Structure 1
């Protein structure tokens, strides 16, 4: 079943007009989180969708844990609001369990699942702020069978942990972890995927159950879609969007932006370009015009973004990338 692709409606929901005027937290809420697999990726995603992005405001929200980085959708690192983390985390647990089994086959034949998670909980309560490698190394004394990296991976994925907030979101330090209970003063909600799926449809609809599963990593979503949707066309479900603004013709997107992970059908819209963008598990940033990828870009912590055009670019496209490059280069070193 081919996914419904309404290019104009889709782009309107993605706040690519830079005109919504939403706060950083409101924007993250509306978009269902922002992929944070790369350090500056979420900042680019926010900049390209914000009327005026304030990095100090992002720093403040992270340091207060109003915005949280954690392994969530598809098991990958995402930037979420505190409300989203509290509401969604337990609903994502079965998916995270599958991710651990897939990456570490045989782990639960070597160690007891519940004993490992209990030990990881005790460890982080006693020594908050450990890295993944430090977690794994500390647990090998009691669990000598698996490799330390397997133990650290399991704890990072299966316990409700969040990343320690950095002093500077633009120049983050080494990733460290805390138990969510150490920075969030409310319990996680009971498992309920309805809010998560409703948010997905608001930002990416209309979409099918397969699409919702591709975006979230979850399964058996058709009954939830049927329950939360306002309308249905064939296999595609939809709700009213939060954002509905005319997009700019050209926009710069970060690496792993969720516009590329909202549909399982690789022939649909922007998703079709992912085959060309993803290279050996890595993915560059991209520049789109009228919903079509026109170029990709890469950068490092010390160099400004460099553009690789897929075809001849017009003046508007060149100017948009120059505007983005100037913003990037203007950040403090």
Structure 2
């Protein structure tokens, strides 16, 4: 690495991430524009995208996202890291094609392998497409049909395996859309039919890398791979090097960024923000110390697989929160100052009003 390459401090990376993730202040973008900028929003947990957009956008209402989903401008489907995300309908085709090999590789896991052993994947794909063509089914309904074609298997595993093979979307009605509770079932439809456009024929990793940097940069190759779930992206990034700026972090790791993307000011103020479980801002890098300390990451690690909603104080994760019908409970990871406590409670009050627009707000409790 050249001695002239600029080193970026952790606070510069933090403030830059907040700006790129629309968390420095609520912005006037539409939900569609925000989802496009973020490339894809994690949607593994019911209602997570609603809280994630509320944290980023001015005057966001739950119906704003629901109408996009009903209008097919935004889709919910399996994408990055083989998990469920929201993306613009126009982006889904190339994004799903880019991560298709990654998604399909999950079939080798014991969770699926025992149930599809001896089944030709192409045959499973053809059978599933025939059953879904022209209609939407609950995933369990699709599984029941598939098990008649492939007896002696688990209906649920067959349906999930088919979704790894073929690009599907989860259309409304779905409890995540506008409902506020737990998922009771997942409807599935063929993505090309739902969107009235074919899925892209070819992977577009160059596009994915550049879009990622716009929302998450500066970042290392390992960061891009951690966010996307893909491997062997070094060659893709190297191919873009002449068009990118190169920095390094405090440990000397090489970071890449778009040439005209601004960096954050280390002393810029950062508001308290409540983030849903698996939010992009926290999961977008392999080295997450720009937003959460190693100590706090280890603190939540035993619960992370189930999803941990978190809140930011001065731009960094300093606590978790949970919501029930009656309570919005916050658990700071360290003693907060009086000013920090007041700011956290104030933002929690706004969140309580958002999740309970009918006026039955949950009690706010700091543990």
Question: Do they fold alike, i.e. is TM over 0.5?
Answer: yes
Q: Could you tell which deviates more after superposition, 163-172 or 93-102? A: 163-172
**In 2 relative to 1, CA 192–331 (structure 1 residues): closer, same or farther, beyond 3 Å?**
farther
**In 2 relative to 1, CA 280–199 (structure 1 residues): closer, same or farther, beyond 3 Å?**
closer
Structure 2 length as normaliser, TM-score? 0.82
Spell out, residue by residue over 1:205-231, the C-alpha distance to the aligned partner (whole angstroms, 9 max, x if none): 111111111111111111222334521
Q: Could you tell which deviates more after superposition, 258-267 or 116-125? A: 258-267
Q: Number of aligned pairs?
A: 330
Q: Could you tell which deviates more after superposition, 239-248 or 186-195? A: 239-248
CA contact under 8 A between 2:41 and 2:86: conserved in structure 1? Answer: yes
- Which structure 2 residues correspond to residues 147-166 of structure 1 after superposition, within 5 A? 147-166=154-173
CA distance in 1, matches of 2:307, 2:174: 26
- Which structure 2 residues correspond to residues 64-103 of structure 1 after superposition, within 5 A? 64-102=71-109, 103=111
Task: Provide the residue aligned with 2:365 in structure 1.
Answer: none
Task: Provide the residue aligned with 2:315 in structure 1.
Answer: 291
**In 2 relative to 1, CA 211–222 (structure 1 residues): closer, same or farther, beyond 3 Å?**
same
Asked if 1:204 corresponds to 2:231, the answer is no
State which of 312, 326, 329 in structure 1 corresponds to 2:356: 329
Whose Rg is larger?
2
Task: Provide the residue aligned with 1:306 in structure 2.
Answer: 329
- Which structure 2 residues correspond to residues 109-128 of structure 1 after superposition, within 5 A? 109-125=117-133, 128=135
Asked if 1:276 corresponds to 2:299, the answer is yes
Q: Could you tell which deviates more after superposition, 208-217 or 163-172? A: 163-172
**In 2 relative to 1, CA 307–218 (structure 1 residues): closer, same or farther, beyond 3 Å?**
same
CA distance in 1, matches of 2:331, 2:286: 26
Moved over 4 A (4+): 240-247
CA distance in 2, matches of 1:112, 1:87: 26
CA distance in 2, matches of 1:280, 1:49: 23
Q: Could you tell which deviates more after superposition, 40-49 or 53-62? A: 53-62
CA contact under 8 A between 1:13 and 1:244: conserved in structure 2? Answer: no
Structure 1 length as normaliser, TM-score? 0.90
CA distance in 2, matches of 1:203, 1:142: 44
CA distance in 2, matches of 1:81, 1:43: 15
State which of 256, 267, 276 in structure 2 corresponds to 1:237: 256
Unaligned runs of 5+ in 2: 1-7, 249-253, 361-367
